[in-house]
Structure 1
Amino acid sequence: MDATIELKIKNALHDLFAAVGQLQAAYPGKPFTLDGRLVGDIGEVVASLAYRLTLNEGLTKHHDAVCEAGRNVQIKTTFGTTLTFPVHHVPDYYLGIRMNRDGTFEEVYNGPGYLIQQQLAGRKPTRTGLHGGLMAMLRRLNGTVAEQDRIPRR
């Protein structure tokens, strides 16, 4: 990652988590987690800096980026302990990352979406349209993905 951009992300995340800490102290009954669109957008930017892919402009259904091979990539991000996978479609590639508060990240899964779908074949569809609680399975599966089936790092 570019050092200047990395520092900007690190500083912005520090400020965000400081604000969350203030809210949690003022209202102890609420977690004030940084979920949803904000976390997804942070993850997409971090992924585009670390991997050879190009982000789609704006919001696009089912995919967030395109890799050098021209395949669509869905990027999922968490600051917590769970990642989701769609029930009703299978992305060409799925990149799941777990962000740390300092702006670094762990690659949880980087590879073809169909490999995840095969693992989830026995699960029933959910009302949310997302399979959850996949962190351990994604980590295990990531260890089996061939290098040529991964989105290359920059």
Structure 2
Amino acid sequence: MRYKLPTEIRHLIHARNQLRARYERFGLKFTPDGNLVGDLGEAVAAELFDLQLVDQRGYKGIDAHTREAVPRSVQIKATGRGDNLIFTHTDAPADILIGLVLRYEQEEVEVVYNGPYDVGLFGFHTAWQGQRSQRVSRFRLWNANVKNDDRLQPTLPPLA
């Protein structure tokens, strides 16, 4: 499902595009990456799914909690390149995973996965350490098999 990015993020993209145009002769791309992409993904997911973000210092592998009577933990993964989602090992994974692709040029976000956080399904062995990546195309396939009851319900309607 695709959704329009919030106005403030679209302003950031427009500023990036102006920088690209100004410094085009130098070949600079001004690609948002790293912490900025993660923060943008968390902001978009929190708003889209009405999540309560956690204090980052205290929760490794958990970015938010649902506002349900019995809250579930949520990990949010985002990419601006659209190819891979990168995971860092944690001994206590979240209950839910939200996988996002930020489509800067279209000013949209695509939810490529919204469902249970399943280390085995994602192709990670229980003994893995460090960071691992998995292709976004696989998350789209896995997402097609998630039962609607296992998904977080968005607060906004998807784009047509």
> Shorter chain as normaliser: what TM range?
0.7 to 0.9
Higher helix share: 1
TM-score by length of 2: 0.76
Structure-2 separation of matches of 1:134 and 1:153: 24
Cα deviation 1:30-63 (Å, max 9, x = unaligned):
6543111111111111111111311123444211
- The yes-or-no answer on 1:96 pairing with 2:94 is no
The one-letter code sitting in structure 1 at the alignment partner of 2:121 is: Q
2:55 match: secondary structure: coil
The one-letter code sitting in structure 2 at the alignment partner of 1:48 is: A
Paired-residue identity, %: 28
TM-score by length of 1: 0.79
**Unaligned 5+ runs, structure 1:** none
Change in 2 beyond 3 A, CA 1:52/1:122: same
**Unaligned 5+ runs, structure 2:** 156-160
- Deviating beyond 4 angstroms after TM superposition, the runs of 4 or more aligned structure 1 residues are 20-23, 121-124
The one-letter code sitting in structure 2 at the alignment partner of 1:148 is: D
State how 1:18-97 maps to structure 2 within 5 Å: 18-20=18-20, 22-23=22-23, 25-28=24-27, 32-59=30-57, 60-69=59-68, 70-80=71-81, 81-89=83-91, 90-97=93-100
RMSD, aligned α-carbons: 2.6
Corresponding residue pairs, total: 146
Relative contact order, higher structure (CA 8 A, sep 6+): 2
